[in-house]
A and B are shown apart, each in its own frame.
Chain A
Amino acid sequence: DTEVTQTPKHLVMGMTNKKSLKCEQHMGHRAMYWYKQKAKKPPELMFVYSYEKLSINESVPSRFSPECPNSSLLNLHLHALQPEDSALYLCASSQDDRNEQFFGPGTRLTVL
Chain B
Amino acid sequence: GQQVMQIPQYQHVQEGEDFTTYCNSSTTLSNIQWYKQRPGGHPVFLIQLVKSGEVKKQKRLTFQFGEAKKNSSLHITATQTTDVGTYFCAGDSNSGYALNFGKGTSLLVTP
- Select from chain B the residue with minimum beta-carbon distance to A104: B42
Chain B residues 80 to 111 lying within 8 A of chain A, measured CB to CB, are 88, 92, 96-99, 101-104, 106
- Select from chain A the residue with minimum beta-carbon distance to B100: A45
A106 interfacial by beta-carbon distance below 8 Å: yes
Chain A residues 73 to 112 lying within 8 A of chain B, measured CB to CB, are 90, 92, 94, 97-106
Contacts between the two chains (Cβ within 8 Å), count: 53
Contact B43 A100 (CB under 8 A): no
Contact A98 B31 (CB under 8 A): yes
Question: Mask for B43-79, Cβ within 8 A of A = 1, else 0?
Answer: 1110010000000000000000000000000000000
Counting contact residues on chain B (CB < 8 A from A), the size range is: 20 to 34
Count of residues in A whose CB is under 8 Å from the partner chain = 26
- Select from chain B the residue with minimum beta-carbon distance to A43: B101
- Select from chain B the residue with minimum beta-carbon distance to A105: B42
Query: A residues engaging B (CB < 8 A)?
Result: 31, 33, 40-45, 48, 50, 55-56, 58, 90, 92, 94, 97-106
Query: B residues engaging A (CB < 8 A)?
Result: 30-31, 33, 35, 41-45, 48, 88, 92, 96-99, 101-104, 106
Q: What are the 10 closest A-B residue pairs judged by CB atoms, nearest first?
A: A42-B101, A100-B45, A103-B42, A48-B97, A103-B43, A97-B97, A105-B42, A106-B42, A42-B104, A98-B92
